[in-house]
Amino acid sequence: MMMDSIPTHIAIIMDGNGRWARERRLPKIVGHRKGAEAIREILKACAEFGVNYLTLYAFSTENWKRPKGEVGALMRLLEAQLNREIRNLMKNGVRFNVIGRIADLPERLQSKIKRSMELTRANTGVVLTLALSYGSRAEIIDGIKKILDDMEQGRLKKEDIDEESFGRYLYTNGMPDPDLLIRTSGEMRVSNFLLWQISYSEFYVTKKLWPDFRKKDLERAIEEYKKRRRRYGA
């Protein structure tokens, strides 16, 4: 792949794990495990293609409404994947990051997340961000609360608030906005994901279910992105 016009930041709504498993008459957790394998390949491909940031919608604030057994299995899978992948993250220079209401996650998983983030903090490769217990509306509300706290403490004035300063109160502070948003499984909605940050992102939707999404599919999405002309409203 030619390296011109490669998106700096790709965000992905990883949809279709459950459907993938259901079509094969397998437990849903098997679909989630296959989805984790797809993450490994896409992360490697991003490094190869020159993508600097990869943000994955892994577990939303709404997902807590799922059956307790499924949620518990997902949390255990996340913890196991962190244990399994930390060595590869270090080997490949990946910086690991998590956004969302992390305090809502099980304590053991919180500890693994914090440890993984600390271990990879100095890495200079792809920044892999998982959105866990994440909802964009919750993110914006949390940002507003931080602004109000700073105003009450005299650290911020009303006239200082603009789009740039507001962005610093979001979970994604320090990250560029996504250039390309990919959604798998063919659904045509953003599902409360990075609503502020994707204002000018290019969208790419594929009918591929996430466990089947591979390097060639990512390359196809990037090639489509490169054909588009980004006007930013001009």
Active site residues: 15, 63
Alpha-helix residue ranges (DSSP H) falling in the chain? 17-23, 28-49, 68-91, 107-119, 136-152, 163-167, 215-227
Q: Which residue, 233, 224, 176, is CA-closest to 5? A: 224
Q: Are 49 and 218 in contact (CB under 8 A)?
A: yes
Helix 215-227 and helix 28-49: axis angle, to 10°? 50
d(CA 75, CA 130): 13
Q: What are phi and psi of 104, to 5 degrees?
A: -80, -15
Residue 15's CB is within 10 A of a number of other CB atoms, namely: 22
Helix 68-91 and helix 28-49: axis angle, to 10°? 30
Our measurement of the distance from residue 112's CA atom to the centroid of its chain's CA atoms, rounded to an integer in Å, reads 18
CA-derived radius of gyration, the chain: 18
Sign of CA dihedral 217, 14, 198, 151: negative
